[in-house]
Structure 1
Amino acid sequence: MTDPRKDQPDQLKPLPDDWTRALAVVAHPDDLEYGCSAAVAAWTDAGREVAYVLATRGEAGIDTLEPARCGPLREREQRASAAVVGVSVVEFLDHADGVIEYGTALRRDIAAAIRRHRPELVVTLNHRDTWGGVAWNTPDHVAVGRATLDAAGDAGNRWIFPELVEQGLEPWDGVRWVAVAGSSSPTHAVDATPGLDRAVASLLEHRTYLEVLTEEDPETYARDFLTGFARTTGERFGGRPAVAFEVFPR
């Protein structure tokens, strides 16, 4: 007799929730809104602190806008987007959009942010070369994702980037997990149900970008995109719409 469980996808575990502070580190405005923000809304609802750090201002992201105009506009949209899900702290590292280089300079900047914010949970975006082996990832995502995974350790070692101590940033070895969104190998998930409508509203704050990206009505596009992914993930999370993460314990 065939075991019906063999046809069931592996179930995702609930993301640990015994933490109070999270830091999300990504490359561009809108990176977090394409999937993470429903989880962020649930976390802030529960009284947890979440801060955003972006490596760039997304200034090279809209072909019809030169970077000098595009960067400030996308920064404003990102701050408004974060506010929708209860995030008031949004920082920009001012690396150049499209040409972020993985290396010690990027690791140092992210380690410094981790020392400033002292999170237990660090969130970042897919650091692998592809999205599920189907679409090629961008160099910016790969660089920032990898550097964030590395910087979680750098932040706790006083002998790596000792100049940070001289700047008053003492080591922080309190990162317990790095959670990678957009991974093709997720291990954990967060129930998206309470925050899904706000996630859609949060993505819609990037209206200038969306209007260039798609010919669909922006609200229809945002809702279909986010609810579709949440429902698919939910098939591995007890049928509840969910946001998936690959979690690396530390």
Structure 2
Amino acid sequence: MAEPFPENWSTALCLVAHPDDPEYGMAAAVARWTSQGKRVVYALATSGEAGIEGMDPTEAGPLREKEQVASAKVVGVDEVEFWGFPDSEIFDTPELRAKVAETIERVGPDVVLSLYGGPEWAPGFPNQRDHMQFAQAVVAAYDSLDRPPRQLYCNGPDATHAVDVTGFVEAAVESLSCHQMYLEVLDPQTPVPDQARATVERMTGGVDGFAAEQATGFTLLREAPRR
């Protein structure tokens, strides 16, 4: 049974591998939190430069950064940074772990949100290697800190905690729709708003054991000892 996501925090750091990663699962929750005056910071390992088929990475990278910044703004996030690691070549390296740790210490969040690192989202729906490697690096970096944030969560299946996102789904749809060029190439036959709505509604359709009909789930991975 999923518990309500804690509310007694002021800053969250969202660590992901690519542009659009926050919008595929977390944007509705982020919209709720920023509406409450909470600070949310996005940090992305790559610029997603390999993510648009047929487009040169030197063109795709800046375009996807622009789409991500616009997308974040829709849900109230004004702090977005890109680390410049190579898209589709993310590995759990000492360099990546060091960057994760440095960012956590610099931002000083109460909670850290990251990607699901399991092999499958569901039977027959494999996870991306970049996501799995990045998730491993985040956990390792968190474990290396002398004074880690209160909690580390991932956004994925088997949620331990959930956020009631009633009233914030439309903001999440608009946010994902900002990734217009990426989505147009990904599925040329389906209008971007329709793609975005189908994805967001699937990801906010409720969490087992949680009362709200529209909810975003998170899995607690680590909790720091109380100081």
Q: TM-score range by the shorter chain?
A: over 0.9
Describe the SS at the equivalent of 2:167. Answer: helix
Q: How far apart, in 2, do the equivalents of 1:66 and 1:149 lie?
A: 32
Cross-structure match for 1:201: 174
- 1:226 maps onto 2:200 in alignment: yes
Aligned to 2:72: 82
* Letter of the 2:173 counterpart: V
Q: Distance in 2 between matches of 1:210 and 1:174?
A: 36
Unaligned runs of 5+ in 2: none
Asked whether the equivalents of residues 45 and 85 of structure 2 are also in contact (C-alpha less than 8 Å), the reply is yes
Given candidates 150, 160, 170, the residue that maps to 1:176 is 150
Aligned counterpart in structure 2 of residue 92 of structure 1, from 61, 82, 93: 82
In structure 2, the residue matched to 1:243 is 216
TM-score by length of 2: 0.94
Deviation at 1:236, TM superposition (A): 3.3
Whole-Å Cα distance in 1 between the matches of residues 197 and 207 of structure 2? 16
5+ residue gaps, structure 1, are: 1-10, 158-172
- Distance in 2 between the 1:114 and 1:239 partners? 31
How far 1:174 sits from its partner (Å)? 4.5
**CA offsets 1:22-80 (integer angstroms, 9 cap, x no match):** 00000000000001000001111111110000000000001111100000000000000
Counterpart amino acid of residue 177 in structure 1: Q
* Matched ranges for 1:106-145 at <5 A: 106-145=96-135
How far apart are residue 133 of structure 1 and its match? 3.7
- Give the match for residue 212 of structure 1: 185
Q: Which moved more, 1:211-220 or 1:18-27?
A: 211-220
Question: Which whole-Å CA distance do the structure 2 matches of 1:69 and 1:146 have between them?
Answer: 29
- Matched-pair contact (CA < 8 Å) for 2:166–2:215: yes
Query: SS at 1:146's partner residue?
Result: helix
Separation (CA, whole Å) in 2 of partners of 1:103 and 1:95? 11
Question: What is the identity, as a one-letter code, of the residue corresponding to 1:213?
Answer: L
Does the aligned pair in 1 maintain the 2:117–2:136 contact within 8 Å?
A: yes
Kept in 1: contact 2:160–2:220 (CA 8 A): yes
CA distance in 1, matches of 2:212, 2:11: 28
Contact 1:192 1:230 in 2 (8 A): yes
Conservation of the 8 A alpha-carbon contact between 1:13 and 1:237: yes
Pick closer, same or farther for the CA change 1:185–1:235 going to 2, 3 Å.
closer
Give the conservation status (yes or no) of the 8 Å contact 2:114–2:154. yes
Mark the CA change 1:56 to 1:36 in structure 2 (over 3 Å): closer, same or farther.
Answer: same
Matched residue of 1:193: which SS? coil
- Highest Rg: 1 or 2? 1
State the percentage of identical aligned residues. Answer: 40
- CA RMSD of the aligned region, Å? 1.3
Q: Distance in 1 between matches of 2:103 and 2:200?
A: 29
Cα-to-partner distance string for 1:209-243 (whole Å, 9 max, x where unaligned): 11011221111121122113312x24532142000
Taking the aligned partners of 2:67 and 2:114, their CA distance within structure 1 comes to 20
**Dislocated runs of 4+, deviation >4 Å:** none
> Which of 42, 58, 72 is the matching residue for 1:52?
42
Contact 2:159 2:207 in 1 (8 A): no
The answer to which of 124-133 and 24-33 deviates more is 124-133
